[in-house]
């Protein structure tokens, strides 16, 4: 049975606690905010005043509404002022000992029927609850930062939480205008369990110098549409906070993917805690400033300044699928002379027709004028003869993702292409070095992983093997920039940057589903509303294709031999049963998952 909750207490008025207090006050609740001393209260009051002041400036609140919100919050250092509260939410730092001490104190002060909630993002709510004489009335209420903005709230029930209490807290979250999801008491709950494995992997990628921090962050923003790159996000969260969350998750689950990357502990020990300290993976203008400044960790750009670039004006594209057609369009619009090879005259015509349709749409949408369209088309020619690649400066392979097929093609191109020509593969999962080894000039082979649709997506992963020449890498980067793309460089390793970070996250979501911890809808909601992702993992899996996802995950597992990368059994079973996603009309959204 639902009970009326009107009086709320917040313990801890840091950024998160002050934000939670503001959220309740905005929704009409009578709020008491408590912190350890007057200085902390002043900081908490300042957080609320600053946040509501910005809302007034942006026209989201009037001055009268702001005054009403501030008037609903009373600030105190005395626990006795929480005695009449219906609900108290604890929002102090992630320390189990500290939280248990606070709950013991609350248990002595608040009414016997009051509900106690913890905003913990990773600690066991059960271990916090047993510090009280009322564990049935203790739940987790995990808000996301910034609390006044993000809609998602995880309501964490323990094995002893009263169903009525869970229902009441869920109703409160809905009254706040939030989207609550009820989950069990498991390390990381939904969002952090998926998010921090991905963030930790990104930190490890940086630590091993596989790619620069700028390229890792740009790859995930441009390749996946994420609001922030993983390393910038770690800085925002706080590297100390991230380390504690990962350490807690690892201790509870013993999953090696959650064992904190050593670089995190080293940086925290050195005082590099992220934005809050003014330095983390990036260096900031001042503590708590979002403005990044140059520092010694910023590498010189790969721009060919110290390397002689190979001339590239004549480009060949081998393939007739969607990706190949998109790449032809990208090069033609950028002013390159493009010749593509298809297996039959019918496919040559189909590529031409698809190219014309795409350019016509760009004109209709105001993205291109008619003269530029005609000029782009005039630069394109099609052929069925691979020998017509003989005069090309750069040949881009964009055929089916099959090693045997690509190997035969590279052997042929090796015989046909002129001396000094660059041969590039668009593979997203195969080893570039395997294709380079099929040629007599492996130094001339590079990966150019475009993202679909190529005319729209700005990211290109430039992938070098151990044999790729420096001038080839620099030329590839320069060509990408001439195309208007954002190149990121990495070495030849399964998944490159984007897929190596993306697909283990998707695989972890499937494992969470098959453990019956949460539904596909709730997991998608958590990642979209809690983390700002454009799509939830199951929506994305259906779009990418479960079969494609399984193939990439298997490749990652075989390359890294990391047990946590083993494909989720449910993913394998669904693919075997023909549930491969949107292209087949059924995937995670096409059955009872």
Which CATH number characterizes residue 328's domain? Answer: 3.40.50.720
Radius of gyration of the chain (CA): 28
Q: Report whether 2 contacts 168 (CB < 8 A).
A: yes
Q: Are residues 463 and 569 in the same domain?
A: no
Angle at 501 between CA 495 and CA 502, to 5 degrees: 95
Give the H or E element holding residue 193. Answer: helix 191-207
What the block records as the tokens of 189 is 């709950």
Q: Name the domain boundary from 491, 525, 557.
A: 491
The reply to whether 124 and 213 lie within a common domain is: no
Please confirm, yes or no, whether 27 is among the known catalytic residues. no
Cβ pair 521, 593 in contact under 8 A? no
Q: Are 82 and 180 part of one and the same domain?
A: yes
Report the alpha-carbon distance of residue 282 to residue 292 in Å, rounded.
7
Say if 298 falls within a structural domain.
no
429 assigned to some structural domain: yes
Question: What is d(CA 215, CA 460) in angstroms, rounded to the nearest whole number?
Answer: 11
Q: How many structural domains compose the chain?
A: 4
Upper half-sphere CA count for residue 280 (Cβ side, 13 Å): 29
pLDDT recorded at residue 591: 47
| 333 is a domain residue | yes
329 and 271 within one domain: no
CB contact at 8 A, 170 and 198: no
Active site residue 51: no
Q: Is residue 288 part of a domain?
A: yes
Please give the Cα distance from 113 to 417 (Å, whole number): 80
- Asked if residue 408 and residue 436 are part of one domain, the reply reads yes
The position carrying tokens 């990211």 is 459
Q: Are 199 and 227 members of one domain?
A: yes
Please work out, in degrees rounded to the nearest 5, the angle formed at the alpha carbon of residue 270 by the alpha carbons of 265 and 273.
70
Tokens standing for residue 341: 């090879």
Two tokens at 520? 């596909």
How far are the Cα atoms of 74, 263, 401, 551 from residue 22, in angstroms, in the given order? 11, 35, 52, 47
**CA atoms lying within 13 Å on the CB side of residue 286:** 1
Residue 436 belongs to some domain of the structure? yes
Judged by DSSP in three states, 139 sits in strand
Q: 417 in helix, strand or coil?
A: coil
Residue 423 CA to residue 437 CA, distance in Å, equals 12
Q: For residue 176, give the nearest of 65, 23, 71 by alpha carbon.
A: 23
Tokens of 158: 């323990």
46 vs 57: CA distance, rounded Å = 16
Q: Which residues pair with 160 in a beta bridge?
A: none
Helices (H), 313-464: 322-333, 345-364, 370-378, 403-416, 432-436
Could you report how far apart the first and last alpha carbons of the chain are, in Å?
Answer: 30
H/E/C letters for each residue in 35-49?
CCCHHHHHHHHHHHH
Whether residue 373 lies inside any domain: the answer is: yes
- Picking from 289, 233, 296, 231, the residue whose alpha carbon sits closest to that of residue 263 is 231
Q: How far apart are CA 380 and CA 373, in angstroms?
A: 11
**Same domain for 260 and 281?**
yes
Please list the residues that pair with 315 across neighbouring strands.
Answer: 338, 394
Check whether residue 285 and residue 226 sit in a common domain.
Answer: yes
Cα separation, 52 vs 63, in Å, equals 9
Q: Is 573 a catalytic residue?
A: no
User: Given 51, 119, 122, 192, which residue is catalytic?
Assistant: 192
Residue 139's contacts (CB-CB under 8 Å, 6 or more residues apart) are: 115, 116, 117, 118, 125, 155, 156, 157, 158, 161, 165, 166, 169
Residue ending a domain, choose from 464, 491, 518: 491
Q: Respond yes or no: is residue 549 known to be catalytic.
A: no
Q: Are residues 352 and 471 in the same domain?
A: yes
Helices 230-237 & 213-224 angle (0-180, nearest 10)? 110
CATH of the domain at 557: 1.10.1040.10
Within this chain, do residues 418 and 529 fall inside the same structural domain, yes or no? no
User: Long-range CB contacts (< 8 A, 24+ apart) of 45-51?
Assistant: 45/13, 45/18, 45/75, 47/13, 47/14, 47/15, 47/18, 47/19, 47/22, 48/18, 48/21, 48/22, 48/73, 51/18, 51/19, 51/22, 51/146, 51/148
Residue 468 lies in a domain: yes
DSSP-derived 3-state class of residue 124:
coil
Domain endpoint, select from 491, 524, 540: 491
- Considering 22, 124, 142, 329, which one is annotated as catalytic? 142
Q: Residue 99: what pLDDT?
A: 97
d(CA 118, CA 103): 9
Q: How many CA atoms lie within 13 A of 256 on its CB side?
A: 8
DSSP 81: G
At 78, phi and psi to the nearest 5? Answer: -105, 115
Catalytic residue among 154, 244, 461, 539: 154
How many angstroms separate the Cα of 109 from the Cα of each of 14, 41, 75, 82, 86? 22, 20, 17, 7, 12
Question: Do both 436 and 384 map to the same domain?
Answer: yes
Distance CA 185, CA 195 (A): 17
Q: What is the model's pLDDT at position 593?
A: 44
Q: Quote the CA–CA distance of 381 and 67 in Å, as a whole number.
A: 68
Same domain, 178 and 204: no
Q: Kindly name the residue from 121, 320, 358, 429 that is annotated as catalytic.
A: 121
Mean pLDDT by 10 residues, the chain (593 residues): 86 95 97 96 95 94 95 97 97 93 97 96 93 97 92 96 96 96 91 94 96 97 95 95 91 87 97 94 92 72 70 97 97 98 97 96 94 96 97 97 96 96 95 96 97 95 97 98 97 95 97 93 94 94 94 94 93 94 83 45
Contacts of 566 (CB under 8 A, 6+ apart): 557
Q: Residue 138 and residue 322: Cα distance in Å, rounded?
A: 54
Tell me the C-alpha distance between 25 and 73, whole Å. Answer: 7
- 3 state DSSP class of 162: coil
The residue segments making up the domain with residue 542 are 498-584
Residue 301 belongs to a domain? no
Give the model's pLDDT for residue 303. 53
pTM for the whole structure: 0.89
User: 388 Cβ partners below 8 Å, 6+ apart?
Assistant: 316, 339, 341
CA distance 267 to 213: 14
Residue with tokens 């040629």: 439
């Amino acid at each position: 049975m639902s009970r009326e909750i009107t009086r709320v207490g917040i313990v801890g008025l840091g950024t998160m606690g002050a934000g939670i207090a503001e959220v309740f006050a905005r929704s009409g609740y009578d709020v008491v905010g408590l912190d350890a001393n007057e200085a902390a209260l002043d900081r908490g009051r300042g957080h609320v005043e600053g946040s509501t002041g910005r809302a007034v400036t942006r026209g989201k609140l009037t001055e009268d509404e702001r005054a009403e919100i501030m008037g609903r919050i009373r600030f105190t250092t005395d626990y006795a002022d929480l005695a009449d509260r219906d609900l108290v939410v604890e929002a102090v730092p992630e320390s189990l000992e500290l939280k248990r001490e606070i709950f013991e104190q609350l248990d002595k002060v608040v009414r016997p029927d009051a509900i106690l909630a913890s905003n913990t993002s990773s600690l066991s709510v059960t271990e916090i609850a047993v510090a009280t004489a009322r564990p049935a009335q203790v739940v987790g209420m995990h808000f996301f930062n910034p609390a006044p903005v993000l809609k998602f709230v995880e309501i964490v029930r323990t094995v002893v939480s009263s169903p009525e209490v869970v229902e009441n807290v869920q109703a409160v979250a809905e009254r706040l205008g939030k989207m609550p999801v009820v989950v069990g008491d498991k390390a990381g709950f939904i969002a952090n369990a998926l998010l921090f494995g991905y963030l930790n992997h990104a930190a490890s990628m940086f630590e091993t110098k596989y790619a620069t921090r700028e390229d890792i962050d740009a790859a995930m923003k441009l390749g996946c549409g994420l609001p922030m790159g993983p390393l910038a996000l770690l800085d925002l969260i706080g590297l100390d906070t991230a380390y504690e969350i990962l350490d807690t998750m690892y201790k509870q689950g013993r999953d090696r993917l959650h064992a904190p990357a050593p670089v995190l502990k080293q940086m925290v020990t050195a005082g590099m805690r992220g934005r809050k300290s003014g330095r983390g993976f990036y260096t900031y203008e001042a503590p708590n400033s979002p403005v990044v400044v140059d520092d010694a960790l910023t590498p010189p750009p790969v721009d060919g300044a110290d390397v002689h670039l190979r001339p590239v004006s004549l480009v060949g594209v081998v393939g007739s699928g969607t990706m190949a057609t998109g790449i032809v369009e990208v090069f033609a619009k950028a002013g390159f002379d493009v010749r593509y090879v298809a297996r039959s005259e019918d496919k040559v015509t189909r590529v031409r027709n698809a190219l014309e349709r795409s350019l016509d749409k760009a004109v209709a949408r105001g993205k291109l004028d008619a003269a530029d369209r005609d000029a782009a088309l005039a630069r394109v020619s099609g052929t069925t003869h691979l020998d017509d690649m003989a005069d090309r400066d750069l040949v881009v392979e964009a055929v089916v993702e099959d090693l045997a097929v690509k190997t035969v093609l590279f052997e042929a191109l090796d015989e046909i292409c002129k001396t000094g020509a660059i041969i590039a593969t668009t593979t997203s999962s195969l080893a570039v070095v395997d294709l380079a080894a099929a040629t007599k000039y492996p130094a001339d082979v590079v990966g150019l992983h475009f993202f679909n649709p190529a005319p729209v997506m700005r990211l290109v992963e430039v992938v070098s093997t151990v044999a790729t020449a420096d001038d080839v890498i620099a030329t590839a980067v320069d060509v990408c920039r001439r195309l208007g793309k954002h190149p990121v460089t990495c070495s030849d390793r399964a998944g490159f940057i984007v897929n190596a970070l993306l697909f283990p996250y998707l695989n972890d979501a499937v494992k969470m589903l098959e453990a019956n911890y949460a539904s596909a809808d709730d997991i998608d909601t958590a990642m979209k509303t809690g983390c700002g992702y454009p799509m939830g993992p199951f929506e994305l899996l259906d779009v990418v294709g479960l079969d494609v996802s399984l193939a990439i995950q298997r490749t990652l597992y075989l390359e890294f031999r990391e047990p946590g990368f083993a494909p989720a059994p449910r993913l394998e079973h669904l693919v075997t049963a023909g549930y491969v996603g949107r292209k087949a009309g059924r995937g995670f959204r096409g059955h009872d998952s």
